[in-house]
Structure 1
């Protein structure tokens, strides 16, 4: 049996260096990267030089920067995101217009997280800022639970890693049955959220969600909004 919890340290360190470079604005000094990742300079230098030889990192004087090869590797992902935004953009806009709240489109990101790839900010005086480009954990919100409710492999992976909260699997059965998930101030005090699955060829590939102040988005209103959206948006996308 494959051990899904086994992690290769050198791979984790190399990818963490790329993430650190991105968070630093695309370039940073070796010493700063070593401190940030709590690595010795020799290890950091070796990892950076290896990635530089492959084009994933570039060196400019005392700075190490993200390499152009990353753009080539990421292009298929960018194209896939663009296709999803084109396919589900009408539903995103329709939900934003109907609710007046911040609405967003998200996709799974690995076996632990999901990523917001599009968002429209609400029109109210109290509104949630656009989360576009941000990652969040699968177990922490309505969006993540929608993905878990429709992808057993993700649930198994979290269970084997000991990361599945108690009682969540029962909630996932309910979410799969009713067709949407709610987050009532669980992820953040004062915030209510709604999420619905988006399918292509029968498979859940993305999720549509909204978030707003709990004082304005009452639980009963969220249930009503979800049921109406699933009915009325059926001709826009296969929800």
Structure 2
């Protein structure tokens, strides 16, 4: 268990460095990760030795080995971005909100591949473990409703029963999921599954304030998107 926690903390540190633009000071990283400076320094030294992080004076940057590691995963991600680009554009135009194309990213949070703001301009939100959590976000619940293995893994990791689990059957049947402030207070979202040959591989998510996306409007938009984008959300 101690080894697992050490791995999790080290990966969180690496992800935090990426979220800060791939360039940050020791104190910034330690504070963002909730670590002491000495603990963060030891982890960073290990990552430097392995080539995943470089040190430039008082700052740490992502190392070239990160790119080498990520390289094989880029082709599938690019295919999804390109394949569902028309769906993302149409979804954004329909909703007029900030929208994302997302994929599963483990059993805790989803991963955003692409995004557009309400004007159709490219927009990528920074990773946010609370907002992107599988158990509370609309996007996450779409994945859980269609992936029994992912749901079982989340059950094993949860310290208490999953509050959203009774809704997953309904999400699967109706074809969309809603988040009325569960992932973040004041934020309302809805999400649709994206399929390749019948299998859910990604999701589209729209987000806005509770004032912009009141529950009744969310329902109307979700149903309209299911009707009008049907041919774009399956390929």
CA contact (8 A) 2:19 2:127 kept: no
RMSD: 3.0
Question: Which residue matches 2:104?
Answer: 108
- Aligned counterparts of 2:178 and 2:196: Cα–Cα separation in 1: 22
- Aligned counterparts of 1:179 and 1:7: Cα–Cα separation in 2: 40
Question: Which residue matches 1:118?
Answer: 114
Question: Which residue matches 2:35?
Answer: 38
Structure 1 residues 161, 228: closer, same or farther in 2, change over 3 A? Answer: same
CA contact (8 A) 2:135 2:162 kept: no
How far apart are 1:107 and its partner, in Å?
1.2
- Aligned counterparts of 1:183 and 1:25: Cα–Cα separation in 2: 29
- Aligned counterparts of 2:144 and 2:138: Cα–Cα separation in 1: 10
Question: Which residue matches 1:126?
Answer: none
3-state SS in 2 of match to 1:137: coil
Instruction: Please tell me whether residue 198 in structure 1 is matched to residue 194 in structure 2.
Output: yes
Select the residue among 198, 207, 231 that pairs with 1:211: 207
Q: From the CA coordinates, give the structure whose radius of gyration is larger.
A: 1
- Aligned counterparts of 1:78 and 1:13: Cα–Cα separation in 2: 24
Question: Which residue matches 1:156?
Answer: 152
Select the residue among 39, 43, 66 that pairs with 1:70: 66
How far apart are 1:171 and its partner, in Å?
0.6
How far apart are 1:201 and its partner, in Å?
2.3
Select the residue among 127, 142, 145 that pairs with 1:134: 127
Residues matched between the structures, number: 229
- Aligned counterparts of 1:215 and 1:24: Cα–Cα separation in 2: 30
Question: Which residue matches 1:52?
Answer: 48
- Aligned counterparts of 2:65 and 2:148: Cα–Cα separation in 1: 34
How far apart are 1:235 and its partner, in Å?
2.2
3-state SS in 2 of match to 1:8: helix
CA contact (8 A) 2:26 2:37 kept: no
Structure 1 unpaired stretches of 5+: 124-128
- Aligned counterparts of 1:32 and 1:222: Cα–Cα separation in 2: 38
Question: Which residue matches 1:144?
Answer: 140
Instruction: Please tell me whether residue 237 in structure 1 is matched to residue 201 in structure 2.
Output: no
- Aligned counterparts of 2:217 and 2:176: Cα–Cα separation in 1: 14
3-state SS in 2 of match to 1:217: coil
Structure 2 unpaired stretches of 5+: none
- Aligned counterparts of 1:117 and 1:63: Cα–Cα separation in 2: 27
Select the residue among 170, 182, 187 that pairs with 2:166: 170
- Aligned counterparts of 2:226 and 2:28: Cα–Cα separation in 1: 49
CA contact (8 A) 2:100 2:204 kept: yes
How far apart are 1:89 and its partner, in Å?
1.1
How far apart are 1:49 and its partner, in Å?
4.2
Select the residue among 193, 215, 226 that pairs with 2:222: 226
CA contact (8 A) 1:115 1:133 kept: no
